[in-house]
Amino acid sequence: MFTRRESFKEYITFYPIVSLILLVNLLVYLATFLPVLPNQLITESMVGVNLYIVQGEWWRLITPIFLHTGFSHFLFNSFSIFLFGPALERALGKPKFLAVYLFTGVLANIATLVTEPLTFSHLGASGSIFGMFGYYIALIVFRKDIISRNNSQVIGTIAALSLIMTFIQPNINIGAHLFGFLFGVAAGSLLEAKGKKIIPSYKEEFLHLRGRLRSNRKPPAKTLTIWAIIIALALIGLFR
């Protein structure tokens, strides 16, 4: 589900929205770092600055989603989107996936506006990435038909570690991470519950997870190693 074996052409064909997001990320990165362009002006016009937003520059709620501080930030954020976006785009369809990605990112930036001082500035795709994680959690609870047990363990582990790291790492936009995740869970729950009771369903999943952890069944060492590398790379991207 999260391992990619497609060729470049197949990837673009199968996951056009993820490919478009990655392309926009690349173009914005080049526009903000190539010395032949007015990169400082472009960056200053796109970065999320709370003071400018309340003064009417509403586009700053959207543009920071595609803006990055440097190559490593751009690379690892793009890696997270490349890795976790395709399965969600396939599960939701193109319009819904794009709406979830932008919706959670914008709402994360609105949360930043509400919770941080007017002098606060922010950029990066973490709000949208955490929104994807949140939606995955809802899929784990309500759509077991499309997420296997192993994949649910992987995404659950990454989501949990990412939330923990949010409160440990310095200089992190905690509001964007936390609210992006919560908005993703909320959106997924409302769209995927399909008549099921939301709170009891999460309680049941928690009890089931606790039972699995107590059983202490360990996956093969090779599997653990591969996913440890993937999780590490994903976390690097979120906390650069």
Span 6-18, pLDDT tens digits: 888 999 999 999 9
Is 177 considered catalytic here? yes
Does the active-site annotation cover 189? no
pLDDT tens digits for range 112-135: 999 999 999 999 999 999 999 999
Phi, psi of 48 (to 5 degrees): -80, 110
Contact at 8 Å (CB) between 132 and 62? Answer: no
51-60, 91-100, 187-196: the lowest-pLDDT one: 187-196
**What is the predicted pLDDT for the residue at 154?**
80
Q: Residue with structure tokens 């869970």?
A: 185
**Which residues are within 8 A (CB) of 167 and not within 5 positions of it... i.e. 6 or more apart?**
174
The catalytic residue among 80, 122, 177, 189 is: 177
Higher model confidence: residue 221 or residue 49?
A: 49
- Low-confidence winner among 26-30, 125-129, 147-151, 184-188 (lowest mean pLDDT): 147-151
37: CB partners within 8 A, 6+ apart: 30, 31
- How many Å apart are CA 150 and CA 168, to the nearest integer? 27
Is the confidence at residue 168, as pLDDT, over 90?
Answer: no
Under the banding of pLDDT at 50, 70 and 90, the label for residue 85 is: very high
Q: Which member of 19, 126, 128, 152 is catalytic?
A: 126
pLDDT one-digit tens code per residue, 130-157: 999 999 999 999 988 888 777 887 888 8
